[in-house]
Amino acid sequence: MYDQGTEEFDLVIVGAGPAGMSAAIAARAAGLSCVVLDEQAAPGGQIYRNVESNWMGDRSILGQEYYTGESLVQDFRACGATYLEGATVWELTGDLRVAYSRNDAIGFAKGRALVVATGALERPMTIPGWTLPGVMSVGSAQIMLKSEAAVPEGRFALAGTGPLLLLTALQLCRTGAKPAAIIETGSQNKTGAFLSDPLASAFGWQNLTKGLSWMRALRRHKVPHFHSASDIIAQGDDRLTSVSFRHRHGTEQLKLDRLFLHQGVVPHLNLPASIECGLEWSDEKRLWRPRTGPEGQSDREGVFIVGDGAEVLGAEAARISGRLAALEIIHQLTGQDTARERQVCRRQLDTERRFRRALDRAYLPPRDHLVPVSDDTIVCRCEAVTAGDLRQAAHQGCPGINQVKFFTRAGMGPCQARSCGTSVSLLMAQATGRSPTEVGYMSIRPPVKPVPLQQLASLAEEASR
């Protein structure tokens, strides 16, 4: 069905994680009308998913940091913003109109300013066998834990790199679901990343202490922990049966029922890319991110990109960046002087950014897990496009990434390159001897999320009247 008309607001926010909620709270405090479109059933984003009604009786399982989201969600609920849960945004336009699907209908919202706060996505770990049933992401294990208090059955392991790998392993241990192993691609000694920038440790000592406490707790749970892992292969015919890998002391093969993979997160680019907001490649982090100004302004007028969707810095930084963007929007729309408050937010972000730089160096994914070595390894799982298919297209003279997309269908499936976009870009750069900046990122066209044909047909019918 077609939801007639476009609702107009001072500010439209996409996403109700820490950044989106903070932006809404600040905007409403200044008297701006505001709507928040959120794909989830309740506010909180991924980090605070289900924090209002978590099924965990023991709050120590997920940790106090998770429950700090309760007060933010309460403040958001009370701020007076229009909150539309279960709203899937599938198109943005240059005049700041947002199209979304909700309750089997299409709706439109238009703002004088737009904040994109869609957060981050897990970076795919394209090892051989990563598409087998039984292989999932570490984030999916944490989502099941937060949403349903569900833990994996049978023997399972976690593989890859990044703080989320260790945190999720510890949270599962606290439930009594002990992993068979942690298979970490990074080295055991990560102090070098912080010693190279002592100020990073000084600014982020609380976060550093927290991370060290996770490692000590995992040792107390006696979880086998392999470091410097390489050549990780998920094995099985119809489903996962085992994983093999090399590590600094030799080789291992573990029988498993589940394998959870993780190698960090990357900004969710599809919405800003769909209206041609500028993107830039960060070789330091090996990822694409939107090009933004100090307050989160994109290079499209009126569009702000905040939180992990702009720069992956964590929940606290996301909250600050959402507030910072809202303060700039308040100044632009009302003339209110918010300069001092914005300066405070920028200083706080600089502190968070300094620590995160060292953390990213400590957990930087190895290149051979970002670009598959084997031609048989699937890169785009939606269309079953392998690394060999992409290399062949590159060697046959495809001049650019969008041509490769056309010839191989990589990035044209239901996820619209959310999963494979960075991997394809890196592989094409490697295959052609160019930099990712020269190769570029795939063009994203609406709808950026699947839309039921019945809804589109109703929209076309209404437009023809």
Coil vs helix vs strand at 325:
helix
Question: What tens digit of pLDDT does each residue of 7-56 get?
Answer: 999 999 999 999 999 999 999 999 999 999 999 999 999 999 999 988 78
Q: What share of the chain is helix, strand, coil (3-state, %, to 5)?
A: 40, 25, 40
| 356 against 23, higher pLDDT | 23
Judge whether 400 and 440 are in contact, CB under 8 Å: yes
Question: What tens digit of pLDDT does each residue of 238-250 get?
Answer: 999 999 999 988 9
The model's confidence at residue 453, banded by pLDDT at 50, 70 and 90, is: confident
Q: How confident is the model at residue 454, as a pLDDT?
A: 84
When pLDDT is averaged across residues 359-371 and rounded to a whole number, the result is 85
Question: What tens digit of pLDDT does each residue of 205-240 get?
Answer: 566 777 778 889 999 999 999 999 999 999 999 999
Question: What tens digit of pLDDT does each residue of 272-281 get?
Answer: 999 999 999 9
Question: What tens digit of pLDDT does each residue of 400-418 get?
Answer: 899 999 899 999 998 889 9
When pLDDT is averaged across residues 371-375 and rounded to a whole number, the result is 92
The model's confidence at residue 2, banded by pLDDT at 50, 70 and 90, is: very low
Q: How confident is the model at residue 160, as a pLDDT?
A: 96
Judge whether 234 and 259 are in contact, CB under 8 Å: yes
The full DSSP string for 257-301 is SEEEEEE-EEE--HHHHHTT--EEEETTTTEEEE---TTSB-SST
When pLDDT is averaged across residues 165-185 and rounded to a whole number, the result is 96
Q: How confident is the model at residue 106, as a pLDDT?
A: 92
Query: Looking at the domain that runs over 124-263, which CATH code has it been given?
Result: 3.50.50.60
Indicate if the pLDDT at residue 450 is higher than 90: no
Residues forming a β-bridge with 116: 14, 305
Q: How far apart are CA 105 and CA 102, in angstroms?
A: 5
Mean pLDDT taken over the chain? 91
When pLDDT is averaged across residues 383-398 and rounded to a whole number, the result is 93
The model's confidence at residue 191, banded by pLDDT at 50, 70 and 90, is: low
Question: What tens digit of pLDDT does each residue of 126-153 get?
Answer: 999 999 999 999 999 999 999 999 999 9
Indicate if the pLDDT at residue 363 is higher than 50: yes
Q: How confident is the model at residue 5, as a pLDDT?
A: 72
CA 43 to chain CA mean position, Å? 16
Indicate if the pLDDT at residue 332 is higher than 60: yes
For the domain made up of 371-439, give the CATH fold.
Arc Repressor Mutant, subunit A (1.10.10)
Which residue ranges make up each domain of the chain?
2-120+266-336, 124-263, 371-439
Q: Yes or no: is domain 2-120+266-336 CATH 3.40.50.11540?
A: no
Judge whether 444 and 273 are in contact, CB under 8 Å: yes
Q: How confident is the model at residue 1, as a pLDDT?
A: 40
DSSP 465: -
- Among 98-102, 118-122, 410-414, the range scoring the smallest mean pLDDT is 410-414
Q: How far apart are CA 341 and CA 328, in angstroms?
A: 10
Indicate if the pLDDT at residue 446 is higher than 50: yes
When pLDDT is averaged across residues 267-286 and rounded to a whole number, the result is 94
The full DSSP string for 118-159 is --EEEPP---TTTTSTTEEEHHHHHHHHHHH-----SSEEEE
Look at residues 258, 263, 186 and name the one whose alpha carbon lies nearest to residue 225. Answer: 186
Q: Which two tokens stand for residue 55?
A: 């099924």
The model's confidence at residue 3, banded by pLDDT at 50, 70 and 90, is: very low
The model's confidence at residue 465, banded by pLDDT at 50, 70 and 90, is: low
Is 124-263 the same fold as 2-120+266-336? Answer: yes
Q: How far apart are CA 389 and CA 375, in angstroms?
A: 8
